[in-house]
Amino acid sequence: MTRPLSVGIAGLGTVGGGVLRLLRDNADIVAAHAGRPISVTAVSARDRGRDRGVKLDGVRWYQDPVALATESGVDAVVELIGGSDDPAHALVFAALRAGKSVVTANKALLARHGVALAQAAERSGASLAFEASVAGGIPIIKALREGLAANRIRRVAGILNGTCNFILTSMRERGREFADVLAEAQKLGYAEADPGFDIDGVDAAHKLAILTALAFGRAVRFDDVHVEGIRQVSALDIAFARELGYRIKLLGIARRTEAGIESRVHPCMVPENSPLARVDGVYNAVVAEGDFVGRVMLEGRGAGAGPTASAVVADLIDLARGRTAPVWGAAADGLSDAPSVPMSAYVGAYYLRLMVLDRPGVIADVAGALRDSGVSLESMLQHGRAPGEAVPIVLVTHETRESQMRVAVDKIERLDSVLERPSVIRIEHG
């Protein structure tokens, strides 16, 4: 029999436990596809005594994950610790320097240190696989790096965070405010006790940085991603979106333009009949547009033990078969140096909601601020009158430059009749 692929797993949380269960329960399927068995021979985690529902009899235990990475009996290392710093950082670099291939789900590490990781893998001849780092069980990494490799990718867009999608879906379906739905998501386990990485868009931005590098053959530049979260989206905005024929989604979007590469994460209004608008709950979806293939969309569960473990083991099967690919689709020194387009240069249509005192001249003042900033108004919504009281007014603009819109919003916010910072959401038709 062909010698098994000996695997060491660092991190035995939800995903690590899922990988162990998948390799045990589907051992026959995995071996058939891999051409040999895949065996976990060493593990590392913080709490040795914790019951993970999976037997670890005969498996070597390492308190220090870096020691696991350099063990001679381990062929490949699976890193499921998370985070861009040590110990995950030290573990992965140690494994690659030792010539051991690495499978990881760590989007933060890849987004922050992607080029250095690729260089380390190239120097030692090891592989670095990371299908599980973006969109859980959706095979978008392989699709971009291999399946669509012959295409010039024009655009990648997607719902990349299931927590945010669950919150926005629940707000729309039940008419509840953000804080209430967030608390429910935490009780259900869809949101962390400290949900900032999810709801502030950072998690989605890590994933978009990875997709941008793969789609456009450029070095990973996380700091160039424009990032906004969903804290400011209200039930009122979602209700107005429905009236206008839109749904609000947190999207990650990367686009090739004549000026360079645009990459941004923020709430968007998308038409109700668009494919991404219909992706609800904890599901993720990614759309890629290539010059020859056209539009391709992949949808599925973006997180959780099962989907993420599925992606990890798929990478292990590739390693067992000897199937490898450059980390970012090309050698590190062959990656593009295409510039990043600043968010201030973005051009698009905008939804603008104001809470104003209902009194004469308010609309004229707002229209004047838009006019003076070079922003053209397409339509306006106002329901009823309440003289002297606060009422919402919704404006939809024609396409305009982000820098002009920011100037207009600052002017409008300073008007005496405007009671709070205007709510601004970009409209995404593509």
Quick one: tokens of 140? 């978008």
Burial class (CB in 10 A: 0-12, 13-18, 19+), 193: exposed
Which residue has tokens 């593509």? 430
Which residue has tokens 């120097």? 123
**Which residues are marked as active site?**
207
Q: How far apart are CA 83 and CA 201, in angstroms?
A: 16
Q: How far apart are CA 421 and CA 410, in angstroms?
A: 9
Amino acid at 257: T
Name the helix (H) or strand (E) containing 203. helix 202-216
Report H helices in 275-322. Answer: 305-321
Amino acid at 236: L
Buried b (16+ CB within 10 A) or exposed e, 83-111: ebeebbbebbbbbbebebbbbbbbbbbbb
Residue pair 268/198 in contact by the 8 Å Cβ criterion: no
Report H helices in 262-342. Answer: 305-321
What residues have CB less than 8 Å from 360, skipping those under 6 apart? none
Helix, strand or coil for residue 213?
Answer: helix
Name residue 377's beta-bridge partners. Answer: 397
